Amino acid sequence: MKVDPRVIELYNEYIHSTLPRREFLARLTKLTGGVAAAAAVLPLIEPDFAHAVQVPEDDPRLDTGYVTYRSAVGEVRAYRARPKGAGKLPAILVIHENRGLNPHIEDVARRAALAGYFALAPDGLSVAGGAPRDQEAARDLFAKTDPARIAGDIIAGVPYLAKHSECTGRVGVVGFCYGGGLALRCAVEAEGVTAAVGFYGRVLPSSDVPRLKVPVMLHYAGNDTRINEGIPEFRKALDAAGVAYSINMYPGTEHGFHNDTSAARYDPAAARLAWQRTIDFFDHYLKGDGATPS
């Protein structure tokens, strides 16, 4: 079922603002033409964690579970995944969207682990008692929690991984939406980042770009005006600073196209390509010789 782009735009507004659910549903009903139509489209835009798992929680190839590590100001809960029986591995920090750690991001961590990495997905809402399962409650809690504390707790995952006895010392960072922007901040602010990948996240301020000393890969949705309007200036700043980067645009896709819990926004072909590019990028910089490809 093809979903009206205006419905997707409304949903994006809902998850990226403080729009109350009652108002969201009222506007959705008006947009779709009635209560029945709104009820039919709602399951296509809201997350369905149970039916979007690509790597089962109990996959016998993986060692998974929860750990805690210390940031500068407290304890951070995180989900870890790595291949069973493997020795030291390069690591990937997986950063969630603006709703804290959830089953989808844990699934992404398992995908990274199956690619041969020690994956760690922190919960930026650890300080607030952990991310609620309800996505509106998680969104609202995220908005009420100190953003500097959330970012600092997540960024502290980089040195935790870099010094971990099961890590080779090479650490990549990948993030989605909020996490896409924070992945770039990790590359600027954290010691130990080897390479970073951002999916449809905020660009860095131009003043921060000269501090970016590691290669980055960026994935953007074609139909994502809110994020994409910052790309031209960002590209100029990257070029001026001599940063090794690639920008990948996926025409016709929506913000969140990699998130397979939302059927209306998910684009399987673009998601597969972006993820394969991400793993190839990390394989080169974290497992290979680290030289910039010609």
pLDDT of residue 290: 62
pLDDT of residue 294: 37
Q: Starting at the earlier edge strand, list the strands of the sheet with 167-176.
A: 62-70, 75-83, 118-122, 89-95, 167-176, 193-199, 216-223, 245-254
Q: Is 124 exposed, middle or buried (0-12, 13-18, 19+ CB in 10 A)?
A: buried
Model confidence at 78: pLDDT above 90 = yes
How many independent structural domains does the chain possess?
2
Model confidence at 1: pLDDT above 60 = no
Residue 57 is assigned to a structural domain of this protein: no
Residue 56 is assigned to a structural domain of this protein: no
Confidence band, pLDDT 50/70/90 cuts, at residue 291: low
pLDDT of residue 257: 96
pLDDT of residue 2: 74
What tens digit of pLDDT does each residue of 158-191 get? 999 999 999 999 999 999 999 999 999 999 999 8
Residue 52 is assigned to a structural domain of this protein: no
Q: What is the mean pLDDT of residues 18-30?
A: 89
* Co-location of 73 and 173 in the same domain: yes
Model confidence at 275: pLDDT above 60 = yes
Beta carbons of 94 and 117 less than 8 angstroms apart: no
Mean pLDDT of the chain: 94
Model confidence at 233: pLDDT above 60 = yes
Q: What is the mean pLDDT of residues 203-230?
A: 96
Residue 71 is assigned to a structural domain of this protein: yes
* Co-location of 109 and 244 in the same domain: yes
* Co-location of 102 and 230 in the same domain: yes
Measured distance CA(234)–CA(258) in Å, rounded: 22
Model confidence at 293: pLDDT above 70 = no
What CATH number is associated with residue 168?
3.40.50.1820
* Co-location of 107 and 38 in the same domain: no
Measured distance CA(151)–CA(280) in Å, rounded: 27
What tens digit of pLDDT does each residue of 3-23 get? 888 988 898 889 888 888 889
Q: What is the mean pLDDT of residues 265-280?
A: 97
Residue 130 is assigned to a structural domain of this protein: yes
Q: What is the distance, to the nearest Å, from the Cα of residue 264 to the centroid of all Cα atoms in its chain?
A: 18
Residue 209 is assigned to a structural domain of this protein: yes
Domain that holds residue 11: 5-45
Beta carbons of 217 and 277 less than 8 angstroms apart: yes
- Residue 22 half-sphere exposure toward CB, CA atoms < 13 A: 0
Residue 50 is assigned to a structural domain of this protein: no
Give the closest residue to 200 by CA, choosing from 238, 242, 256: 256
Residue 101 is assigned to a structural domain of this protein: yes
